Structure 1
Amino acid sequence: MPTLRRRPPGDPERLPASLPAVLRRVLAARGVRADELALDLAHLLPPSGLANIDAAATLLAEAIRAGEPVVIAGDYDADGATGTALAVLGLRALGAAAVHYVVPDRFRMGYGLSPALAEQAAATGARVLVTVDNGISSVSGVASARALGLRVLITDHHLVGAELPAAEVIVNPNLPGCGFASKSLAGVGVMFYVLLALRARLRADGWFDAARREPNLSEFLDLVAVGTVADVVRLDRNNRILVEQGLRRMRAGRMRPGLAALLQVAGRDPARLTAQDLGFVLGPRLNAAGRLDDIRTGIECLLTDDTEHALALARQLDAFNRNRREIEAQMHDDALERLAGDDAIGVCLYSDDWHEGVVGIVAGRLKERLHRPVIAFARARQADLLKGSGRSIPGLHLRDALAAIDARAPGLIERFGGHAMAAGLSLRADALDAFSEHFDALCREWLDEAALAQCLDTDGELAADEMTLDTARALEAAGPWGQGFPEPVFETIARVIEARPVGGDGAHVKYRLAHPAGVLSAIDFNGAERLCDRGEVHLAFTLSINRWQGRESLDLRILALTPL
């Protein structure tokens, strides 16, 4: 049971009195001001704030006017897939004569623009190469691309390493010296900004006319929303605008046929979409293709305009995702056995039987369970090489930790990169023990007891007359909620009337609770281990809306439960 910790209250008086009191409290606790409530596109940060954005627009505008083919070098996750599809569709809409794309084979090439991928890109006949969601660490890949005669534009959002690639132009909000206020753009978000700047440049050049109409780039915000949420970047105001605008289009049925097909196979109603659906329904199905097979299945699903073809591809992606879940469950159970008696602060786990494409998910689940930084390794297809994927906790910047280990033990890590909370690396198989010792030692050095204490931040208690469906609707409408803008969590004490295991394996628990607000329904996902069938309980929960056959009812989603 995590320790429950009340969020600092903020100042509700800075928000309009017309808002429900509970919503004012929640938004104030997240630092929202009255002038930040609107999530219209008019409040989006302008592209001009991104360093080198004008040079990127110039490079692409010159290629388009000259009729030069362009090739997109993408990535094999949901951010990379949506960003690649956005780049292809957006450049075509802006008048590019030919737009190709290449993506690395996760198992043979690894992440990013490698020399091998540069050769594939050059073989398309393109003259300009644009990376999406990668490239900032691809020093050798960019050098190879340029040697092959390609002009290279890097669009990325990952943190910058010790050496920048020698690309013609780099657009990255995390580039040193870039003053763009939102450092949390996803890869697909960076690409959207490049398209905005390119459209402005082409407009100024008189490129658009009656025969060549200027495209409405907001039509692609469905892709931007999915990639942004799936990549778990911080939902600052700028990202919330992008996600909210994408969600509005999708709820109205204005989305790519592939996204509509994925919702269909998942049994989700587009009119009721939330940011959580983007992250837990669409994102995993796109990611599953890159984890188990070929991300091009996901990209083609996003690119196609044929609804039947989109549905066929969506079914393939859904099958990949079911297979991924089965593999993940087996790996997770195996990992728990290996953890028995392990008192490491920085946890490293490895098995010959683990799937390289799924270790990141397993690391994430273990991190949530243990509240420790976790790196899970699998054997790569290259001889004597291991691939690791890590997830961290607040207080330990994972990429910086890997950089520190690399500095302390040069040559131990073959390759690494990533973000604060997620990163990847490659090791020689015989270096695993040494790396594990370094990682645990560094985690013990960088993390104090307070950081290792698992806490769940809450927004306090709800009054009985606030525990209503109207409150749940108001909170849902105030989203999108997500990373860096957390969904409201509340506390209460209630008495258990009924508790019964549900789900195919009985892993979840359905509760009926007696409360001053009346008899409440609640669900505790994966809560079978803490099932409580009688007495009073202290709960931490989110308010959710259960929609079934056209009816709505209030449902509590339990996050923590302690018998009293």
Structure 2
Amino acid sequence: MELRRRELQGEPSGWDAAVHPVLQRIYAARGVLQPDGVAHRLQRLLPPQSLGGLDAATELLAEAIRGDWSILIAGDYDCDGATGTAVAVRGLRMLGAKHVGYAVPNRFVHGYGLTPALVDSLQPCPQLIVTVDNGVASVAGVARARELGMRVIVTDHHLPGEQLPDCDAMVNPNLAGDGFPSKALAGVGVMFYLLLALRAKLRGQGMFAAEAPDLSVLLDLVALGTVADLVPLDFNNRVLVEAGLRRIRSGRACAGIAALVECGKRSMATLCASDLGFAVGPRLNAAGRLEDMQLGVECLLIDDAAQARRYAGELDTINRERRDLQASMVAEAEVMTAGLRDIDSVGVALYEPSWHAGVVGLVASKLKERLHRPVISFAPASEDDLEHLRGSGRSIPGFHLRDALAMIDARQPGLIERFGGHAMAAGLSLRAVDFPRFAAAFDAAARELIAPERLQAALYTDGELPAGSLSLELALQLRNAGPWGQAFPEPLFDNLFECAHWKPMGEGHWRLGLRDPRDGSIHDAVMFNVGTTAPPSRLRAVYELVVNDWQGRESPRLLLRHIEEPM
């Protein structure tokens, strides 16, 4: 692992003296040089008017509300899709729609998105379908819905293919020519923007006898879906996430999110974006991976706290099963890829007939981190369909995964049955008999598109913390700053330490006292998943400076992410 220091993108200026100089430096390394760049007020949210497709979509939705149509939200089976579905159902009901239902495809029965199979399962047929976090690739599904007399609005954020579905309206910031400045909206963010535009249209049409509904009550859901989908936290997304976190911290989260936070043993009062990503999102995602995301959506829609806790408990149980299954599959994948660096594979495709299709993306993510190569993991499409495979891939910086799949598809038509996704994550399906041919094609594409130097794993840090600055004051400022996340990374530091003392903690974890040789101060530290070996007596540690809250007493702690013995 090569350690690299983030470079300042300019000189910070205009900051209040109360903002720690280290935090000013951290912001400058992320391109934020002045306080205005972290003033995440809702008033600074990009206006909806610049998002393409809203006029047609809001006109049709306004007609549906006036005509008392039946509206069905067609969601997706991940956290972004589940939160987006809940935002759509709650928001449309707030805006006057009386007959709003939802459907989420079962990945093992219907496949991904608005498929013909999902459309045919809708009984009775709704008058209007609104997709969330899917639909841009649902050419056949939209055609089937239109054939049956349904109107269709597609809201999505995934990259479009060569052919778009013949829908009544489409809202997607990533369509060619769309002028919306932020292309990083998650699916739930696109839906929230549609609701903002719809409220403005209905207000202009005199639909509200009193004050228009306050849609900010949905921002806890928007924040969760945005963080969990790992979209870049550009300024606009940070505004959305910070507003949602403020609602949660103030005790105004919906019952389902409150229950999931409780299950994850996190504090509502100090919840941060990483808690959404690591404690709340996975519990919601587990339902879509192993069973049916309907349970997750119901958890987010219910207003009864006791029922929400029951749903969250069920999701927690499923998530424990997911973790066990994932650990087993990752162990098998590591055996399969042992020595892979020695045989010069660049694009890695893995397939094991016993694997679970709902967990292959997590396997790809773990192997990508270990190998620092793009990885796609495959499993049978279902227990009853061993002839087709479903794959989920994760990439490294500099290799656009969806574009690579498009290149393979263009060069070998028919090899891939279906694909879609983003630069860093994508999904696809193909015939089991074609797996060897795809594996070779994927490796060839990766060799062609990835420069050799990009295969060297690098860990970027914000440099050394000065002696005496590993304080509770700075730890609190770092916790309250951000929100940190994808493309706006959590601060990491690296310093040389001496191990003053240590002891095992739980199974395979360390609790340490690290001495700073510059001033002799000793700092509390922990490191997880390190096995049974002892730490070295001298080490360079990459760490987060966090707040340890134990029995109401706060203290600074170093959360170690990587260690190595100094040269």
For this structure pair, what is the TM-score category when the shorter chain's length is used for normalisation?
A: over 0.9
Shift of 1:383: 4.1
Shift of 1:542: 1.2
Assess if the C-alpha contact under 8 Å between 1:86 and 1:192 holds in 2. Answer: yes
Match of 2:426 in 1: 423
Matches for 1:478-517 after TM superposition, within 5 Å? 478-504=481-507, 506=508, 508-515=509-516, 516=519
Shift of 1:525: 2.1
Assess if the C-alpha contact under 8 Å between 2:8 and 2:31 holds in 1. Answer: no
Evaluate the alpha carbon distance shift between residue 459 and residue 345 of structure 1 in structure 2; reply closer, same or farther with a 3 A threshold.
same
Q: Distance in 1 between matches of 2:166 and 2:504?
A: 58
Q: Distance in 2 between matches of 1:39 and 1:17?
A: 16
Match of 1:48 in 2: 49
Assess if the C-alpha contact under 8 Å between 2:373 and 2:395 holds in 1. Answer: yes
Assess if the C-alpha contact under 8 Å between 2:125 and 2:150 holds in 1. Answer: no
Matches for 1:77-476 after TM superposition, within 5 Å? 77-121=78-122, 123-210=123-210, 214-342=212-340, 343=343, 344-381=345-382, 382-476=385-479
The residue identity in structure 2 corresponding to 1:276 is S
The residue identity in structure 2 corresponding to 1:312 is R
Match of 1:557 in 2: 559
Assess if the C-alpha contact under 8 Å between 2:420 and 2:428 holds in 1. Answer: yes
Shift of 1:261: 1.0
Q: Over residues 513-552 of structure 1, what are the superposed CA-to-partner deviations in whole Å (9 max), with x where a residue is unaligned? A: 11136111112222337x5534211111111111121111
Contiguous gaps of at least 5 residues in structure 1? none
Q: Distance in 1 between matches of 2:325 and 2:336?
A: 17
Secondary structure at the aligned position of 2:549 is classed as strand
Q: Distance in 2 between matches of 1:426 and 1:534?
A: 46
Q: Distance in 2 between matches of 1:534 and 1:324?
A: 34
Secondary structure at the aligned position of 1:215 is classed as coil
Q: Distance in 2 between matches of 1:452 and 1:232?
A: 22
Secondary structure at the aligned position of 1:481 is classed as coil
Q: Over residues 42-63 of structure 1, what are the superposed CA-to-partner deviations in whole Å (9 max), with x where a residue is unaligned? A: 0000000101112211110111
Secondary structure at the aligned position of 2:468 is classed as helix
Shift of 1:282: 0.8
Assess if the C-alpha contact under 8 Å between 1:189 and 1:224 holds in 2. Answer: yes
Shift of 1:124: 3.5
Cα root mean square deviation, aligned: 1.3
Q: Distance in 2 between matches of 1:160 and 1:15?
A: 42
Tell me the TM-score normalized by structure 2: 0.96
Q: Over residues 304-340 of structure 1, what are the superposed CA-to-partner deviations in whole Å (9 max), with x where a residue is unaligned? A: 1111111111100000000000000111111111112
Match of 2:15 in 1: 16
Match of 1:540 in 2: 542
**Matched residues, number:** 557
Q: Does 2:77 match 1:76?
A: yes
Shift of 1:401: 0.7
Assess if the C-alpha contact under 8 Å between 2:83 and 2:188 holds in 1. Answer: yes
Tell me the TM-score normalized by structure 1: 0.97
Evaluate the alpha carbon distance shift between residue 512 and residue 406 of structure 1 in structure 2; reply closer, same or farther with a 3 A threshold.
same
Evaluate the alpha carbon distance shift between residue 499 and residue 370 of structure 1 in structure 2; reply closer, same or farther with a 3 A threshold.
farther
Q: Over residues 477-520 of structure 1, what are the superposed CA-to-partner deviations in whole Å (9 max), with x where a residue is unaligned? A: 1110000100111110000122333233x2x2222111136111
Q: Distance in 1 between matches of 2:536 and 2:133?
A: 50
Q: Distance in 2 between matches of 1:410 and 1:14?
A: 54
Contiguous gaps of at least 5 residues in structure 2? none
Q: Over residues 410-434 of structure 1, what are the superposed CA-to-partner deviations in whole Å (9 max), with x where a residue is unaligned? A: 1111111111000011110110111
Secondary structure at the aligned position of 2:376 is classed as strand
1:528 is matched with which residue: 531, 549, 552?
531
Q: Distance in 1 between matches of 2:125 and 2:455?
A: 53
Assess if the C-alpha contact under 8 Å between 1:75 and 1:112 holds in 2. Answer: yes
Q: Distance in 2 between matches of 1:476 and 1:503?
A: 25
Assess if the C-alpha contact under 8 Å between 1:15 and 1:28 holds in 2. Answer: no
Shift of 1:365: 0.7
Q: Distance in 2 between matches of 1:311 and 1:455?
A: 41
Which stretch shifts more, 482-491 or 339-348? 339-348
Secondary structure at the aligned position of 2:418 is classed as strand
Assess if the C-alpha contact under 8 Å between 1:464 and 1:517 holds in 2. Answer: no
The residue identity in structure 2 corresponding to 1:223 is L
Q: Over residues 187-246 of structure 1, what are the superposed CA-to-partner deviations in whole Å (9 max), with x where a residue is unaligned? A: 000000000000000000000014xx5210000000000000000000000000000000
Shift of 1:15: 4.1
The residue identity in structure 1 corresponding to 2:144 is S
Match of 2:4 in 1: 5
Assess if the C-alpha contact under 8 Å between 1:263 and 1:269 holds in 2. Answer: yes
Shift of 1:12: 3.2
The residue identity in structure 1 corresponding to 2:149 is G
Shift of 1:13: 3.2
The residue identity in structure 1 corresponding to 2:314 is Q
Q: Distance in 1 between matches of 2:388 and 2:2?
A: 40
Q: Distance in 1 between matches of 2:261 and 2:133?
A: 24
Instruction: Report % sequence identity.
Output: 54
Shift of 1:17: 4.7
